[in-house]
Chain A
Amino acid sequence: MIKTFDRYASVAFFVIGVAVFMYIRSIEISTAGSSIGPKELPTFLSVILIILSAANLFVSIKNQKPAKQEKLEYKKFLIVLVSLVLYAVLIEPLGYVISTFLFLMVGFQTMEKGEYLKSALIAAAFAGGIYYLYVEVALGVLPPLPF
């Protein structure tokens, strides 16, 4: 297997550079009175990014190295990632305490199955504790319980 990340990343940064360049050019503003406006620096930076990513692409094609074989825990990672996204989506409708409790339960069990009661206690203590400290003691704002 050839290491392809560098190529994808170079192309991605190249595209970002071009997109920023075009976007900044499309801003219409008169810079009369000052010699440098809001467009100069981003334009300059986008050109630099384009040049650097082209250079990186060139280097990565020139020295193709085989990728290191690693055993990665994609399953665990994906479960944590998906539950994290759901956590972000649900934090406002379900409230902080419930969404945090659910996320932690899923997280604990994904890391290692078992000890359900202990997991539930820790998750509840964390969610409830933070909510109490932040909202009741420090008078901050977190999404309240939905009922």
Chain B
Amino acid sequence: MESLQYLAQGLSVALEPLNIMFAFFGCLAGTLVGVLPGIGPISGVALLIPVAAMATSSLPMEQAATASIILLAGVYYGAMYGGSTTAILINTPGENSSVCTTLDGYQMAKQGRAGAALAICAIGSFVAGIIACVGLIFLAVPLAEFALKFSPAGQFSLMILGLCALSSLAGKSVIKAFIMTTFGLILSTVGVDPISGVARMTFNYSELYGGIEFLTLAVGMFALGEVFKTILTNDYIEGEAIKVGSIMPTKKDLKDSAMPILRGSLLGFFQGLIPGCGATLSSFMVYTFEKKISKNKANFGKGAIEGVAAPEAGNNGASGGAMIPLLTLGIPGTGTTAVLMGALVMFNITPGPLLFQDHPQVAWGLIASMLVGNFMLLVLNLPLVKVFAKVIETPPKYLIPGIVAISVFGVYAVQGSVFNLFLMIVSGVAAYYLAKNDYPIAPVVLSLILGPMIENNLRRAMNLYNGDYTMFVKDPISLVFLIIAFLWVAVPQIMKLRGKTVVVEEG
């Protein structure tokens, strides 16, 4: 019941006119990000951080943080809605987690049922979003309270677990993923050490004293990296969008998709809780699961409505579920939540168990705004789907240079230095070549954010235990985390060695 009280408070925050406006703008921008080719949820969120910072610059810190995070979260789950539109209408997923939707969605569109497919997508996404919100409301406080009991050793090991979880599923080669994780951690140690005041690896660049800026790296690696890839591979979306037609699903459509949506939402939500299992992975798993238990397996891939409903519910459930470890434990499980965490840290708000005590306004305002945002998306998406279908036709000629210019504006406006622009360009080029050769990018950004916290907890723990490293295995909670972390890395490797295929999260 306590949770409902908090939720009521959160709703009063989320329903402030300014925050409603931000949620609306975030959802709209997110849907566009989802629809537009060449820009995914991660780069969308990264690009909108400066916009959010700019729009809230005159507000007090906590209010600014609440409004900004409401906007950015809106972009995140809005993109999940938008990505399915392109998947259905032109057989090209707007972002990775809609890959499964193309399988049956495009077939439905070819049969003249595009409108029904889009409507089921929107309904599935909505149900999943709401279920994830309810889960968040009831799980957040107990989890945060439990996490408060962790010793510094436990917190340290929990972060190691988060890093291992993301890295072990982040790419085809676990060695490459860990190289990227370690490299990111090393990057996070650049700058003046806050405890001893020693400058580490700053090479007398004053811009580096504060450390490598997360925003610069995120925009460079995700937004520019993606743009470079699009230019180099000439990977533009072509082909006419199929006409939408009536968006009213038939009674049979609704009946056929009700259970798949429910199953997909729940499955997706629980997968989202697990760090490293992002929306892409869970939409695949949900689709496979639905196909396995379905009575008309033969229909899958030929325009089965279940094949559209389930993965869309799955990816939205997962993206909502992924907010739980982020908010309660301070462990972002996916690339996009890592960027959201970076944004919170920029506003001097550290996600984690203390968030619900220290900044209830931010935490509950965000949760309540997700409820509001999901309603908005449903209302926004069904009638406007034809408008969004037009957006797909934005010519890449103007879109691609535009994204680059927005990246430059974002980084320059927030950091105010040409040095950061060069850092952004270098990391963009590096990200393109690394990602192309299966070196995953998300672990670098995640490590850059978690790095300072890991070092802090390590030092606090070592001072507490007089430099006794064995405390990490003597503390029971810490030991459990370390064992899980080890298994997380080892089990997929053993499965690979035994010839099983391991699905990995990309992007």
Q: Which residues of A contact B (CB under 8 A)?
A: 3, 5-6, 9, 13, 16, 20, 23-24, 27, 29, 31, 34-38, 41-42, 45-46, 48-49, 52-53, 55-56, 59, 70-74, 76-77, 80-81, 84-85, 87-89, 91-92, 96, 100, 103-104, 107-108, 110-112, 115, 119, 122, 126-127, 130, 134, 138-142
Measured in the bound complex, the distance between the Cα atoms of B400 and A138 in whole Å is 26
Contact status B408-A91, CB under 8 Å: yes
* Given A23-B201, A41-B189, A107-B400, residue A36 in contact with residue B462 (CB < 8 A): yes
Kindly list 20 other residue pairs between chains A and B, CB separation below 8 angstroms, not including A27-B200, A41-B458, A88-B408: A20-B186, A34-B459, A34-B463, A35-B466, A38-B193, A45-B182, A46-B186, A56-B173, A56-B179, A73-B231, A77-B232, A80-B404, A96-B412, A100-B405, A100-B408, A108-B397, A108-B398, A112-B397, A141-B413, A142-B413
User: For B250, what are the chain A residues with a Cβ–Cβ distance below 8 Å?
Assistant: none
C-alpha spacing A41/B409, complex, angstroms: 35
Q: Taking CB as reference atom, which chain B residue is nearest A67? A: B437
Contacts of B6 in A (CB 8 A): none
Contact present for B458 and A52 (CB under 8 Å): no
Select the residue from B397, B412, B436, B462 with max chain A CB neighbours within 10 A.
B397
Complex alpha-carbon distance, A112 and B396, angstroms: 9
Within 8 A of A (CB), among B433-479: 433-434, 436-437, 439, 454-455, 458-459, 462-463, 466-467
Assembly CA distance A76 to B112 (angstroms): 38
CB < 8 Å neighbour of B198 from A29, A88, A115: A29
Per-position binary interface string of chain B over residues 175-188, scored 1 when its CB falls under 8 Å from any chain A CB and 0 otherwise: 11011001101100
Chain B: CB-nearest residue to A135? B413
B354 at the interface (CB under 8 A from A): no
Q: Say which residue of B57, B175, B401, B433 sits within 8 Å of A56 (CB atoms).
A: B175
Partner of A140, one of B54, B433, B459: B54
Beta-carbon nearest neighbor of A103 in chain B: B405
B232/A35 in contact, CB under 8 A: no
Cα separation A126 to B198 with both chains bound (whole Å)? 43
Contact indicator per residue, chain B 387-400, by CB within 8 Å of chain A (1) or not (0): 00000000111101
- B189's contact among A42, A71, A140, by CB below 8 Å, is which? A42
Is B397 in contact with A27, judged by CB distance below 8 angstroms? Answer: no
For this complex, 12 residue pairs linking A to B, each with C-beta atoms less than 8 Å apart, are: A3-B437, A34-B462, A38-B196, A41-B189, A41-B454, A42-B186, A52-B179, A72-B232, A76-B232, A80-B401, A81-B429, A126-B402
Q: Which positions in B face A, CB cutoff 8 Å?
A: 54-55, 57, 173, 175-176, 178-179, 182-183, 185-186, 189, 193, 195-196, 198, 200-201, 228, 231-234, 395-398, 400-402, 404-405, 408-409, 412-413, 416, 418, 421-422, 425, 429, 433-434, 436-437, 439, 454-455, 458-459, 462-463, 466-467
Residues of chain B within 8 A of A13, CB atoms compared: 179, 183
Q: Is the CB of B421 within 8 A of A88?
A: yes
Given A38-B193, A55-B175, A84-B404; A49-B54 close (CB under 8 Å): no
A95 and B458 CA atoms in complex are apart in Å by 45
Nearest chain-B residue to A112 (Cβ)? B397
**A85/B179 in contact, CB under 8 A:** no
In contact, A49 and B182 (Cβ under 8 angstroms): yes
A104 near B459: Cβ-Cβ < 8 Å: no
> Which residues on B sit within 8 Å (CB–CB) of A77?
228, 231-232
Closest 7 CB pairs of A and B: A107-B401, A35-B467, A38-B193, A88-B421, A36-B462, A111-B397, A112-B397
User: Do A9 and B439 touch (CB < 8 A)?
Assistant: yes
Main secondary structure, interface of B, reads helix
Complex: A104 Cα to B398 Cα, angstroms: 8
Known A9-B437, A52-B182, A85-B425; judge A138-B418 contact (CB<8 A). Answer: no
Chain A nearest CB: distance from B408 CB in Å?
Answer: 6
Nearest-neighbor residue (CB-CB) of B395 within chain A: A112
Is the Cβ of A80 less than 8 Å from the Cβ of B231?
Answer: yes
A87 to B216: give the CA distance in the assembly, Å.
16
Say whether, besides A20-B186, A52-B179, A59-B175, A9 and B434 are in contact (CB < 8 Å). yes
**Alpha-carbon separation in the docked complex, A141 to B464 (Å):** 45
- A88 CB contacts on chain B under 8 angstroms: 408, 418, 421-422, 425
| Nearest chain B CB to A137 CB, angstrom units | 9
B397 touches A49 (CB 8 A): no
CA distance A108 to B404 in the complex (A): 11
By the criterion CB–CB under 8 Å, are A104 and B201 in contact? no
Which residues on the A side are within 8 Å of B57 (C-beta)? 138-140
A76/B231 contact (C-beta < 8 A), A38-B196, A84-B425, A111-B400 known: yes
Residue of A16, A38, A76 touching B186 (CB-CB under 8 A): A16
Q: Measured between C-beta atoms, what is the minimum distance from B470 to chain A in Å?
A: 13
Q: What are the residues of chain B within 8 A of A104 when measuring CB–CB?
A: 401-402, 405
Q: Which residues of B contact A56 (CB under 8 A)?
A: 173, 175-176, 179
Bound CA span A74–B400, Å = 16
Q: Is the CB of A138 within 8 A of B54?
A: yes
Q: Are A35 and B189 in contact (CB under 8 A)?
A: no
A110 — which chain B residues lie within 8 A by C-beta? 401
Which chain B residues border A87 with CB–CB below 8 Å?
408
A129 to chain B, nearest CB (A): 11
Task: Please name all residues of chain A whose beta carbon is closer than 8 Å to the beta carbon of B186 when the two chains form the complex.
Answer: 16, 20, 42, 45-46, 49
A108 CB to closest chain B CB, in angstroms? Answer: 6
